[in-house]
């Protein structure tokens, strides 16, 4: 199992939160939804999750030194 770099996780989480904020304020702007989806996908890939809310929770746990909770889903699958 690969463990993501904390700086990369922090950057991806920040970018996702920023894109959510921008989408909420500019939902009619072309590309706002696509950027939010792209940033969410990146976070999902980094954290090994399929849903963005789970990836956000895993990233927060991982960044707050709770690696067992953050990465437990990956190890439970036997991978």
Assessment of whether the complete model's pTM goes beyond 0.85: no
Structure tokens at 43: 């976070």
Q: Is residue 33 part of a domain?
A: yes
How many domains does the chain fold into?
1
CA dihedral of residues 36, 46, 4, 77 (deg, nearest 10):
150
Q: Is the pLDDT of residue 52 over 80?
A: yes
At 11 the pLDDT is 97
54 inside domain: yes
Write down the pLDDT at residue 67. Answer: 55
70, part of any domain: yes
Q: Is 19 inside a domain boundary?
A: yes
* Whole-number pLDDT of residue 68: 58
Q: What is the DSSP-derived secondary structure letter of residue 27?
A: T
Is 1 contained in some domain?
no
User: What range does the domain containing 60 cover?
Assistant: 6-76
3-state DSSP assignment of residue 79: coil
Q: In whole angstroms, what is the distance from residue 2 CA to residue 21 CA?
A: 30
pLDDT per residue over 58-72, tens digit each?
Answer: 999 999 986 555 555
In this prediction, residue 79 carries a pLDDT of 43
């Amino acid at each position: 199992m690969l463990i993501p770099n904390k700086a990369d996780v922090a950057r991806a989480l920040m970018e996702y939160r920023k894109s959510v904020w921008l989408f909420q304020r500019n939902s009619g702007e072309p590309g706002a939804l696509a950027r939010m989806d792209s940033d969410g996908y990146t976070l999902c890939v980094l954290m090994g999750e399929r849903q963005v809310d789970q990836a956000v929770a895993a990233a927060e746990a991982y960044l707050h030194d709770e690696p067992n909770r953050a990465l437990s889903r990956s190890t439970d699958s036997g991978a």
